[in-house]
Structure 1
Amino acid sequence: MAVAADVVARTLAVVLAVALLSPRLVSSNSEGDALYALRKSLSDPDNVLQSWDPTLVNPCTWFHITCNQDNRVTRVDLGNSNLSGHLVPELGHLEHLQYLELYKNNIQGAIPAEFGNLKSLISLDLYNNNISGVIPPTLGKLKSLVFLRLNDNRLTGQIPRELVKTSSLKVVDVSNNDLCGTIPTTGPFEHIPLNNFENNPRLEGPELQGLAMYDTNC
């Protein structure tokens, strides 16, 4: 009887351990899946993504990826990596991501609205690419965002007024795009220099008395 009781106790211990670990494994795998979706959407002539192996439990051993002590992805560092292709909405699953560095590549297409789910994001650096479409209003949900650098792309549309409520913003650079409408002057935009908006031929200048001047033709 003692042997049987010992077997039962050991079995329960194993089941409990699996139950405790499962959420972490599932979340880590979902992060790996999200990053692998990005890899599949990109052309990588210099093989900088060669270590991104989707069969691993989590992506923390991949080059250009940083994780915290809980094996959650906090940084993606792929600036100036000769990449081309598109961003993917799956990146919105990286809820612990703080730094997304994809500057100085040849990434095309739109910024996914799902980036508004990156609730821990501090820095979004997509400058010097070939990104088009509008700046997603969902970025206004990023309450930890400090750096938003989207300059030197092909972005169109207006600067989302949702960003005015992002009090953490310190740096916004959208120069050298094709934005239109007016420049916000309230909230964090009160301290953003005007040269961070220059070379947008259809951008008309600062709002009058902080009132948004929406252009229906924009």
Structure 2
Amino acid sequence: MAPLPLFSLLFTFLLSLTPTFSTNSEGNALHALRSRLSDPTNVLQSWDPTLVNPCTWFHVTCDSNNHVIRLDLGNSNISGSLGSELGELKHLQYLELYRNDITGKIPKELGNLKNLVSMDLYENRFEGEIPKSLAKLKSIRFLRLNNNKLTGSIPRELTRLSNLKVFDVSNNDLCGTIPVDGPFATFPMESFEHNRLSGPELQGLVPYDFGC
């Protein structure tokens, strides 16, 4: 009869590990992000990868199921680049990385964050094109990419983002024309100023990216 309690204890222990595995994937993603960043003021010092999940880390908010739903690192004096690992934060709703010194391209994997409501990457040094994959962010309302070094044209795929309320790409090096379909009909011209954009495209005509 002795082996039964031992088996029961082992089974209970294994069950208790299950949420650890599921939450650790998000912790691993954030730890990978930390490894890419320079953090001179130690705002990320609480990001301890040995913990069960990242919900006790500063600047990280979780829901009742211990899923990461918010990352608040705006104005944190961090530098470095972003990687594909951010696409693993499947439950993320708010990505706040504004006013830092982050360089490199915006990862196309950010398009996997289907629950994202707000993405604030403004006032960094992002370069390259705006990923077309961001058109998969069907829940997004706020997308602010202004004051970076982004190039290329505004992806027409973004006109399908019916929930988008605020879109700002001012102060970059974008070219081509400004879409007018979908939510783009409501955005003020200030959202596009200080680029190489040639103005709104004419409805009914195929857009031509002048100067791109």
Q: Per the shorter chain, which TM-score range?
A: over 0.9
1:191-202 mapped onto 2 (5 Å cutoff): 191-200=186-195, 202=196
TM superposition shift of 1:124: 0.4
Map 1:41-190 → 2, pairs under 5 A: 41-190=36-185
Partners of 1:146 and 1:21 lie apart in 2 by 36
The whole-number CA distance in structure 2 between the counterparts of 1:185 and 1:8 is 69
The answer as to 2:9 corresponding to 1:28 is no
- Range with bigger deviation, 94-103 or 10-19: 10-19
Q: Which amino acid aligns with 1:77?
A: D
Query: Per-residue CA shift, 1:167-192, capped at 9, x if unaligned?
Result: 11000000000001111111111111
1: CA distance, partners of 2:177 / 2:211: 13
Q: What amino acid maps onto 2:203 in structure 1?
A: Q
What SS does the corresponding residue of 2:173 show, helix, strand or coil? coil
- The corresponding residue for 1:204 is 198
Question: Of 14, 21, 26, which aligns to 1:18?
Answer: 14
Q: Helix, strand or coil for the counterpart of 1:27? A: helix
Report the CA distance between 1:47 and its aligned residue. 0.4
Q: Distance in 1 between matches of 2:104 and 2:204?
A: 31
Work out the number of aligned pairs and report it. 212
Structure 2 distance, partners of 1:145, 1:20, is 35
How far apart, CA to CA, are the structure 2 residues paired with 1:212 and 1:62? 49
| CA deviation string 1:89-113 (max 9, x = no partner) | 1000000000000000011010000
Query: Does the residue aligned with 1:163 lie in a helix, a strand or coil?
Result: helix
Q: Identity across aligned pairs (percent)?
A: 63
Q: CA RMSD in A?
A: 1.7
Displacement of 1:64: 0.3
Cα 1:140/1:12, change in 2 over 3 Å:
same
Give per-residue Cα distances to partners, 1:45-88, cap 9 Å, x unaligned: 10000111111111111000000011110000000011111011
Partner Cα distance (1:17, 1:165) in 2: 47
SS of residue matched to 1:156: strand
Task: Provide the rounded CA distance (Å) in 1 between the counterparts of 2:100 and 2:198.
Answer: 29
What stretches of structure 1 of length at least 5 have no aligned partner?
none
Partner amino acid for 1:206?
Answer: P
Change (3 A) 1:120 1:213: same
Stretches (4+) displaced over 6 A: none
